[in-house]
Amino acid sequence: MTEITVAAMQLAFSDDIAENIANVAELVREAAAKGAQVVLPPELFEGHYFCRVEDEGIFARAMPVDRHPAVLAMQTLADELNIHIPTSFFEADGPHHYNSLAMIGPDGAVQGVYRKSHIPDGPGYEEKFYFRPGNTGFRVWKDAPVPLGVGVCWDQWYPETARAMMLMGAEVLFYPTAIGNEPHDPSLDTSRLWRRAMVGHAVSNVVPVVASNRIGTEDGQTFYGHSFIADERGDLLAEFGASETGVLTATLDITHVKRHRAAFGFFRDRRPDLYGRLVQDI
């Protein structure tokens, strides 16, 4: 039997990076004390979700992976606690900028970087101004208790992301996010859709899914939380609502999950010979 204990966290952020790192670190420690081996902070926890507006001054915040304070802080913490911390950060790579994630291992080393593949652009989420589309391809980290797949926020809406990571061997899928209300339509609440999309990935891939989101109001934009951990059936093992601060944990029996996946036959019955339309430009 292969078991892994995972954790999601949920909290509000100021625009002070030191304060945010300290608050995330506190919850990481809480999760580790509960036995978590992989702890997932939300997307871009270094500060407010700055993609609300287009501001060229924000580019000064981007840093390379080996100098970004959020990454460096999580490296120290992962080493101390002997855990994995998938860490989202604003990356500068020469003249290019990415919405990136560093997978930090239990020795504190960065095992690799994933650059967000799908970049949204709309009112309140103007990420194309700041980020190039990722050039790493999807990533799965196998130097962990079980292989881990991580998509970042907008990636979570795409079934192709989840399926690709599964075909690469992932046994648990993680999604750090920063999502809330829609400034162009205050009546539109996407929190149900957001959760259902990821629960759908859990069901159609027979895989546990872990999602972390922020809460709070930042310059008029309210983030709706609803972080959760779902099992391979899509049943919620742990969940938050729209306002709780804290950590969620669950222990997953991966051997049991793999038996369910084989029995469902979704991967046996795939027909990639029919899927050419998926890779054609419209």
Catalytic residue ranges: 43, 116, 153
Instruction: Tell me the backbone φ, ψ of residue 277, rounded to 5 degrees.
Output: -60, -25
Instruction: Tell me the backbone φ, ψ of residue 144, rounded to 5 degrees.
Output: -150, 175
Q: How far apart are CA 168 and CA 248, in angstroms?
A: 27
Vertex 128, ends 122 and 130: CA angle to 5°? 125
CA Rg value for the chain: 18
For residue 256, the cross-strand partners are none
H or E segment to which residue 229 belongs:
strand 228-230
**Tokens representing 89?**
């950060």
Instruction: Tell me the backbone φ, ψ of residue 12, rounded to 5 degrees.
Output: -95, 160
